[in-house]
Structure 1
Amino acid sequence: MLDVSVIENPEAAATSLDPIRSRLLAELAAGPASATMLAARVGLPRQKVNYHLKALEKHGLVELAGERKKGNVTERLMRATAASYVISPMALAAVQPDPARFRDQLSARWLLAVAARLVRDVGTLITGADRARQRIATFALDGEVRFGSAADRAAFVDELTRGIAALVAKYHDEEAEGGRPHRIVVALHPTVKTPEAPAVTSGGADAAAVEPAVGRPTTPPEEAS
């Protein structure tokens, strides 16, 4: 089972958003179960559960985990293909956010458009890598900083901008033979209060995201690719 699976198909997205099917996905993410077992858990007739399972299976959201004999009946045990799912903006291709339509680094909506593009692009990379049975080199940082004042925040953003610009100038090689462009996204926003504080994680180096979850920048960092 994958930790996260990307849903790009509009029909698959609609299927996953159905409340009953979403509940079944959650049940099957916890472990394999038959339609009979699920029917008892969700309070629906087995035939109706089977109908929803077929729709989920059609779009690759659940899969056969095994079979077992129960008297003269053979039950199919199904499981979710992932522990969680994320719907890519590709599912709304005609109206997906496009950061190129406007560029306002002080706009939370532009930040949302950039984040949506990140989900779309990384989702596309994951889908392609899964089909090719390859891994993707990625890197991400997730942290939090508490500023004492708006002036401190502005100074932080200015220093961050200059630091990243220097790194890009140092390592960017437009004419490198066999080189591959990488996108850098730096986001700064007020922390959304949750029960648990975010942890710092890291990986490889294909899609890079540095997102200290803090205040809105006064002097926004540039995005480089």
Structure 2
Amino acid sequence: MFDIAVIEDPAAAEASLDPMRSRLLAALAEPASATMLAARVGLARQKVNYHLRALEQHGLIELVEERRKGNVTERVMRATAASYVISPVALAAVSPDPAGTPDRLSARWLLAVAARLVQDVGELITGADRARKRVATFAVDVNVRFASASDRAAFAEELAATVNGLVGKYHDEQAPGGRDHRVVLALHPSVINAHTGTTESEES
């Protein structure tokens, strides 16, 4: 089982978003049979089996073992991952394009960049899983509390200058055997203010 898996197929995304199937996926973090799941979710075993077949068809769950009980063979299933992310690839016709209106001060442009990040890293993970390899990545996730809006703006400008300097130092367009990498940095208000319990949008 993977820690996290990426859903790129529209039909698989639809299956995972069904409330009951999503509940079954969560329950299958630990292996279980349809009989065991039926007792947990309060559905008939036949109905649970119907949902399990759909989830298995789309690669969201997998067979762990088969147990023989009298004249019945019980299939024990498990989710293929502890959690899932739906890639914008699943909504290809309406997925955002950050190249359309690049604006580093726009929250919607930031969301488009983040969607592309999910799509790109998702494709890399899918390919690496097939090849049984790891993807070389690096990420920084920190919180910073600014005393004022001017401090925030100054931080953003200094961060941009620092990154541009590093890119200029290490980027080599002509390097034989070199490989392109994408660097994404984002700055946005915290969704929940830990001290007041309010969202940043509620504050001045």
Q: Normalising by structure 1, what TM-score?
A: 0.85
1:125 is aligned to 124
2:22 is aligned to 22
Q: Deviations over 1:56-87 (max 9, x none)?
A: 00010000011222233221000000000000
**1-structure distance, mates of 2:166, 2:178:** 17
1:206 is aligned to none
2:66 paired with 1:72:
no
**2-structure distance, mates of 1:107, 1:173:** 30
1:2 is aligned to 2
Amino acid in the other structure paired with 2:137: T
Match of 1:139, SS state, is: coil
Amino acid in the other structure paired with 2:17: L
Unaligned runs of 5+ in 2: 195-199
**1-structure distance, mates of 2:157, 2:186:** 13
Unaligned runs of 5+ in 1: 196-213, 216-225
2:197 is aligned to none
Match of 1:55, SS state, is: helix
Amino acid in the other structure paired with 1:86: V
**2-structure distance, mates of 1:158, 1:23:** 45
The Cα shift of 1:194 comes to: 7.8
2:158 paired with 1:159:
yes
Percent identity for Structure 1 against Structure 2? 73
Q: Deviations over 1:156-200 (max 9, x none)?
A: 1111111111100000000001101110111000001288xxxxx
Match of 2:114, SS state, is: helix
2:86 paired with 1:87:
yes
Amino acid in the other structure paired with 1:11: A
What's the RMSD between the two structures over aligned residues? 1.4
- Report the count of equivalent residues: 196
Indicate how the Cα distance of structure 1 residues 150 and 119 shifts in structure 2: closer, same or farther if over 3 A, else same: same
Q: Normalising by structure 2, what TM-score?
A: 0.93
**1-structure distance, mates of 2:21, 2:44:** 14
Indicate how the Cα distance of structure 1 residues 174 and 116 shifts in structure 2: closer, same or farther if over 3 A, else same: same
Q: Deviations over 1:27-72 (max 9, x none)?
A: 001x110001101111111001001000000010000011222233
4+ aligned runs moved over 4 Å, structure 1: none
Q: Which has the higher strand share?
A: 1
